[in-house]
Every structure is written in C-alpha cells, then in structure tokens.
Amino acid sequence: MRKPIIAGNWKMFKTRNEALKFIYAVSDKLPDIEKVDSVICAQFTVLRCLVKRQGENLRIGAQNLHFENEGAFTGEVSAPMLKEINVSYVIVGHSERRAMFNETDEAINKKLHKALEYDITPILCVGESLEQRESGQTEAHLAEQLEKDLAGLTAEQVKDIVIAYEPIWAIGTGKTATSEVANETCKFIREKIASMYDQDVADAIRIQYGGSVKLNNIHELMMMPHIDGALIGGASLDPEDFVKLVEAAVK
Ligand code: 13P
C-alpha cells in the first residue's frame, strides 16, 4: 500500500504574514502522518518560518533548487541551503518553470540528482500540452520526459521520488482531466517506470495528479488505483480547504 501524499504548491503567493496565518490555521487539524503525507511547497522567503512551525503532520517543500552547491548563479538557491533549514521536499520541473524559465530536461535531471544527494524528496512534474494530447503524443512525450529526467538514477533513488502528473492544459484552467483519463495516464507512467526499473519500483513510487484539483473533484480522483495523491495550486491557498483536501486523501 502506498501512503497518499497531498502537496500544496503555493507558487508566487503568500507573504510571511499570510503564510503564518495559514500555518496556525491548519496545525492540529491535519490528519495523522501515518495515514497521509501533507506538504506545503512555498516560496523561498517563507520556508524557514514555515519549517519552524510545521508540526507533526506537515512537511515543507521548496518549489525549485539549483543543481550546483554554490557559485555565481544570481538569484538561485541550492540544495545545501534548503537542507540547512530542514526543507523536506522540492518541486522539480514544474511546467511553469519549463515554459517560462526555459528549464530543460537536462537541468531537471541534475536537480533530481542534487536533491537526492541532500536527502530532499523531489516532486518531479511531468505532463503534456493540449496540442500533444489532441495529436496523440501524450505517452511518447511523457516517456521522453521520464527517460531524460530520471537518467542515471538508481532504483533505490527512484522509489523515493514523487512524480506529479500535471497535464499543462488542466493547470489553473478549471479543466480537470477526468479521473479516468488521469488514472490511465498515471498507469502509463507507472508502467514506464516498471520498464525502466522493475515492478518493485513501479509499485512503490507515488504518483500524484495535478491540475485544477478542488474539493469537488478530489474524492473521485483519489478513488483511482494509480493516483496516490495530488499536487494542488489554487485550492491549497485556503487553510480550511487544504485540510479538507488532505482529509479526502485518507483511505
Ligand atoms: P492548479 O491546482 O491551480 O490548477 O495548479 C496546479 C499546479 O500547477 C500545481 O503544481
């Protein structure tokens, strides 16, 4: 049995005051960590204040990292810097970073290696565009992303990664993939992992769905056998909704 994992991706939202209000509102209300992993991935300036107050059943993640430990990389943050403040997760390869900040699969691959070296659990995002979905390219595109992004990682390392399947056309659009489509695509990702590694790794790895996940669709998504959780943007910003979204993942 894979433990479900619900992660909020706050993107570029919430000042320190807003983040503090959120964390006080959810602490004591989230389900037990034995039942579900709850994660908030926040922007860099609030990470430390969130980690200090994260409580038993919430873990804090970053939304990006650089693949070098240090150097002349203006504006970047490294794995040792995140580790030093006890960040537990990091989103790698979000489609917004791929599209708007020119992040390549090669860079994403190096970031995964670096996060794992520092014992920070990566949430690797993959997903197709609307054009790719409509022209039947979804599986080929996902296979290529997985091969390039995971290159050189061992089976033991890949077991610990979380994969977020986020169809680009469903992000922030209110258009969710139907739970059947989301499940079929997560199943494809699992089969691809089995072919790249083995069935044990495929059975162990947790695959989230992301893209317009809300209170009105999470129950249906979480019933699907290949969906182990969700990566949630907009709906994760409200503390009451976040608690309910996490509760919905408890089987
Ligand atoms: P929304 O839930 O706002 O569609 O965002 C999804 C997402 O990009 C999470 O990483």
Enclosing domain of residue 135: 5-12+31-248
Residue whose CA is at the smallest distance from ligand 1 atom 1? 233
In degrees rounded to 5, what are phi and psi of residue 66? -95, 155
Mean pLDDT along residues 205-233: 97
Answer whether residue 19 is part of any domain: no
Is 23 inside any structural domain? no
Q: What CATH number is associated with residue 179?
A: 3.20.20.70
Q: Is residue 20 part of a domain?
A: no
Whole-angstrom distance, CA of residue 12 vs CA of residue 164: 19
Protein residue closest via CA to atom 2 of ligand 1: 233
Q: Considering its fold, how many domains does the chain have in total?
A: 1
Select from 107, 111, 109 the least CA-distant residue to 62: 111
Could you report the per-residue pLDDT of 25-66, keeping only the tens digit for each? 998 999 999 999 999 999 999 999 999 999 889 999 999 999
Six-digit token string for 51: 């980690």
Residue 66 is among the residues annotated as catalytic for this protein: no
The residues lining ligand 1, judged by C-beta closer than 6 Å to any ligand atom, are: 9, 94, 166, 171-172, 210-213, 231-235
Q: Is 104 among the domain residues?
A: yes
Whether the model clears a pTM of 0.85, i.e. scores above it, the answer is yes
Catalytic residue among 96, 103, 128, 166: 166
Q: 89-143 pLDDT, tens per residue?
A: 999 999 999 999 999 999 999 999 999 999 999 999 999 999 999 999 999 999 9
* 33 HSE (CA, 13 A, CB side): 9
In a domain, 233, yes or no: yes
CB atoms within 10 A of CB 89: 23
Q: What angle do CA 157, 44, 232 make, to 5 degrees?
A: 65
Structure tokens at 70: 């240090």
pLDDT value at residue 137: 97
Q: Which tokens sit at 106?
A: 């090669």
Distance 9 CA to ligand 1 centre (A): 7
Phi, psi torsion values for 129, nearest 5 degrees:
-80, 170
Give the separation between CA 229 and CA 7, rounded to whole angstroms.
8
